[in-house]
Structure 1
Amino acid sequence: MRNVADLPLHGGHVPAWLARRMRKLTRLVLILAVEEYGTRGLLERLSDPVWFQAFNNVIGMDWDSSGSTTVTAGMIKDALWEEELGVKAAGGKGKKSRATPEELKKIAELYELDPEPYVRTSRLVAKVDTVALQTGYQLYHHVFFLDEKGNWAVIQQGMNGRERLARRFHWFDAETFTLDPHKAISGLKREFALNTVSKEAEEYQKTLLDVIQENPVKIERELEGLKAMAKGYMPLVYYRPREPGEKEVLRRYESLGKFELNKKALEFARELGVNNYEEFLLVKGLGPSTLRALSLVLELVYDVHPSWKDPVTHPPDPFKFSYAVGGKDRVPFPIDRPAYDGLISFLEELVSRHPEERALVRNVTRITKNWKFPEGEKRAT
């Protein structure tokens, strides 16, 4: 199962008066969530895109924008460092994402954990969502959550500048990183995606590991023949088209970007004797272009195919949670400051009370469980 959400790219910023309230409400929700579900339960919910989006809506962020990921994840990270709940977060947007390894080492030291597995996991999940799964999105946001027991979750987001969309990827305690590794899926389904981490791609992965043991020069020669075919030249003698659909396959690869081999990366993988797909993805210099090139060669020369299915399904819409305090961009209505302050006061009082008294609040949720919002009020921001 995988977990992905597509959102329109939005600029702008959160006004100071709203940011202060968001920070307070975020802290209170996290305290209650950890007390109710434990740190592992919190991580499970953060790795659920519907829950995460509902959290975003409750604190008043845009219900449908890319900023909902960067702002909400940033608020959560800050709150977890300010409050000791047994779970911390590393990374963030842009330059902050590159600080993830060092921050993970600090968290691991705090919780007396070996940092290396988590640093490796951070690198690997980023490589999967930029290289192994290609849907036209470039990662620019990566937040890694780690609790005192060693459970982890990752929320990262990629940008498609041409289509003005962002896609969010969620991970949780993955047992494998190369066969359907994400937790679940939500978002806009694309016509196709180069998906080399689908269970359907097991044969592809095995064949690729065999092919990279060959001299990179030979692989490059095969690639150049395919490029010539794409330009309309006659195939080389050793290559014979098998079916008319091969030109469509070439166009599909070209739509994802250039395919150029990094021969140094392939030589390095060969020297290391890489024998599993995880190790291969972590090879320095292996990028989307090189994997596209290898996939093209495998598909048209060796007749071994990756999966072309975009691993996305459509979740329930959490828009109704925007009615808690309103939305930053006035959808479904402007932020109701008195209601926001009243909610914060109520939750502060709730946090200070005995856990048994909080059980009464759960009954209140039944009132709105089946409530449905007026569709006409759901407007793009």
Structure 2
Amino acid sequence: MSKRAGSADMPLHGGRVPAWLGQRMTRLGAVIVEAIILEYGRDEFLRRLAHPFWFQSFGAVMGMDWHSSGITTSVLGALKRGLAPLSGELGIHVCGGRGKHSRATPSELTAIGERTGLDGSSLARSSRLVAKVDSAAVQDGFELYLHSFIVANDGRWVVVQQGMNGSRKQARRYHWLSEGLESFVEAPHAAIEGRDQGKIVNLTDRRALSSRQGQLDLLHRMGPDGILRELSRVAPRDTAAPLPIAQPLLPHLVMPDHHDVRPDDIVTRRLYGALAAAADRGPEDFAELLLVPGIGARTVRSLAMVAEIVHGAPCRFSDPARFSLAHGGKDRHPFPVPTKVYDKTIAVMKSAVSTARLGHDEKLAAIRRLDEQARRLERTATGPSFEALINEERNRSHEYGGRSVFGWEPPIGPEWKDQGRSLETCKNSKS
């Protein structure tokens, strides 16, 4: 059967991703996907997309609002743009999107079928069925507005789609994974994200088999007109209807409404492990890299978080906010996007992937060692307080090319500089 990965709450946010960030997200997202496929294969990448915790962390490391519904749209848009020129090489195709782009999914899948030999009509049917199940069979108060279908050359696929509840200002994301999928109408979701909005009519639950069969029998026996007449008779007595059976509990990630990143939003030991790994492995594994002007310890710290996105186990993505400390956020939370650091991260990752494709995986192995070292050190590593870390990042934002939707960050005068503990004091404890 298909796997459930849990659920989460996301506040519904509007706005657009600025071009300067969208272009970077496209490049970084594509090179991270390349690294994952090189290291673990296409099937593993599809499994990652079907994991709501990883998906949210993936968006956060790319500089999007770490907690909001906008991550879904921006990540899928970045992947569609970034992977399109690589589709022949990687064998991954991203279709659909938001609004009118979602309605174009079937025709895009048909075209992909013609190029690759896949059954495009069957894929298009799957796309329509997925959308119908989440809009009709699962009636949870959310109206679908985004549908993205990611398919590999071997026919395996993932669907990520999202609905909104405008009155509650909440969004819910649905993940589908073709691996192990036996039925479209019986517990098919890999994950459903979103806050409980009250009573949910979920006809895909296994316990609803008799209800689904009863509806078909009723339709055959009475026809549409007869059903309408019957409904008009029983509608006044709907208060006596039995309550639905409670849904089974799943791992639940709560994305808070507050926009700022707070200490409670991250697992501090994991953060300190990444910082300590960057300080420990950076000079050894990236000695030549650190001699390049513009690339220094700050870039290696971002690489440590990108490394976890590539190599981390599912249990490590319970705190997506932590990954926003790699490249900040477009709305200055937790700090403005350090564009110089971002660009260097992309350059290092592209160089590592390019040389690995030529059979030289030393740079890609160095990225892997960053993640391994972070996990080893997180039990003992110490560092500055969360507030001191954020303050130092903001104080140096101009130096890092800090930018947000509000513009470039100006230099900060000495009278405003924080006197907190420096990041250079983040070292591994010997206890």
The two structures have a TM-score, normalised by structure 1, of: 0.75
Q: Match for 1:362 among 349, 358, 368?
A: 368
Change (3 A) 1:164 1:149: same
Q: Which residue of 1 aligns with 2:319?
A: 317
Q: Which residue of 2 aligns with 1:149?
A: 154
1:130-176 Cα shifts (integer Å, max 9, x gaps): 00001100001000011110111100000111111111000110221
Quote the Cα distance in structure 2 between the aligned partners of 1:319 and 1:23: 20
Deviation at 1:18, TM superposition (A): 1.6
Quote the Cα distance in structure 2 between the aligned partners of 1:337 and 1:114: 42
Quote the Cα distance in structure 1 between the aligned partners of 2:225 and 2:147: 35
Alignment of 1:334-373 (within 5 A): 334-354=336-356, 356-357=361-362, 358-369=364-375, 370=378
Q: Which residue of 2 aligns with 1:285?
A: none
List runs of 5+ in structure 2 lacking aligned partners: 254-317, 391-431
Q: Which residue of 1 aligns with 2:330?
A: 328
1:315-374 Cα shifts (integer Å, max 9, x gaps): 423221111111112122111122212211211221122353122321211344448997
Quote the Cα distance in structure 1 between the aligned partners of 2:248 and 2:195: 9
The residue identity in structure 1 corresponding to 2:366 is L
Question: SS of the counterpart of 2:172?
Answer: strand
Q: 8 Å contact 1:2–1:311 — kept in the other structure?
A: no
Change (3 A) 1:74 1:311: farther
The residue identity in structure 1 corresponding to 2:182 is E
Alignment of 1:156-167 (within 5 A): 156-167=161-172
Q: Which residue of 2 aligns with 1:65?
A: 68
Alignment of 1:106-255 (within 5 A): 106-173=111-178, 174-215=181-222, 216-229=224-237, 246-247=239-240, 249=241
Quote the Cα distance in structure 2 between the aligned partners of 1:343 and 1:136: 40
Change (3 A) 1:176 1:336: same
Q: Which residue of 1 aligns with 2:81?
A: 78
The residue identity in structure 2 corresponding to 1:341 is D
Higher alpha-carbon deviation: 147-156 or 76-85: 76-85
The residue identity in structure 1 corresponding to 2:328 is G
The residue identity in structure 2 corresponding to 1:224 is S
Q: Match for 2:51 among 48, 66, 73?
A: 48
Q: 8 Å contact 2:352–2:361 — kept in the other structure?
A: no
Change (3 A) 1:24 1:30: same
Higher alpha-carbon deviation: 334-343 or 216-225: 216-225
The residue identity in structure 2 corresponding to 1:222 is E
Quote the Cα distance in structure 2 between the aligned partners of 1:372 and 1:88: 42
Q: Match for 1:35 among 21, 25, 38?
A: 38
Quote the Cα distance in structure 1 between the aligned partners of 2:192 and 2:22: 29
1:7-59 Cα shifts (integer Å, max 9, x gaps): 21211212222222212111211111111122221111111111111110111
Change (3 A) 1:15 1:121: same
Quote the Cα distance in structure 1 between the aligned partners of 2:44 and 2:234: 49
The residue identity in structure 2 corresponding to 1:225 is R
Quote the Cα distance in structure 1 between the aligned partners of 2:248 and 2:59: 25
Q: 8 Å contact 2:172–2:193 — kept in the other structure?
A: no
Q: Which residue of 1 aligns with 2:105?
A: 100
Question: SS of the counterpart of 2:164?
Answer: strand
Question: SS of the counterpart of 1:338?
Answer: helix
The residue identity in structure 2 corresponding to 1:155 is V
Q: 8 Å contact 1:92–1:141 — kept in the other structure?
A: yes
Cα RMSD of the aligned pairs, angstroms, is: 2.4
Change (3 A) 1:121 1:128: same
Q: 8 Å contact 1:90–1:100 — kept in the other structure?
A: yes
Q: 8 Å contact 2:171–2:194 — kept in the other structure?
A: no
Quote the Cα distance in structure 1 between the aligned partners of 2:199 and 2:386: 30
Q: Which residue of 1 aligns with 2:261?
A: none
Quote the Cα distance in structure 1 between the aligned partners of 2:158 and 2:236: 44
The residue identity in structure 2 corresponding to 1:214 is R
Quote the Cα distance in structure 1 between the aligned partners of 2:185 and 2:137: 8
Deviation at 1:71, TM superposition (A): 1.0
Q: Which residue of 2 aligns with 1:270?
A: none
Q: Which residue of 2 aligns with 1:9?
A: 12
User: Sequence identity, in percent?
Assistant: 41
Q: 8 Å contact 1:201–1:306 — kept in the other structure?
A: no
Higher alpha-carbon deviation: 318-327 or 131-140: 318-327
Quote the Cα distance in structure 2 between the aligned partners of 1:306 and 1:179: 17
The residue identity in structure 1 corresponding to 2:369 is N
Change (3 A) 1:372 1:107: farther
Give the ranges of 4+ consecutive aligned residues of structure 1 lying more than 6 Å apart after TM superposition: 371-378
1:216-246 Cα shifts (integer Å, max 9, x gaps): 333223211222335xxxxxxxxxxxxxxx4
Deviation at 1:189, TM superposition (A): 3.2
Q: 8 Å contact 1:26–1:76 — kept in the other structure?
A: yes
Deviation at 1:212, TM superposition (A): 1.3
The residue identity in structure 1 corresponding to 2:52 is P
Change (3 A) 1:131 1:177: same
The residue identity in structure 1 corresponding to 2:252 is H
Higher alpha-carbon deviation: 179-188 or 310-319: 310-319
Quote the Cα distance in structure 1 between the aligned partners of 2:248 and 2:16: 32
Question: SS of the counterpart of 2:213?
Answer: helix
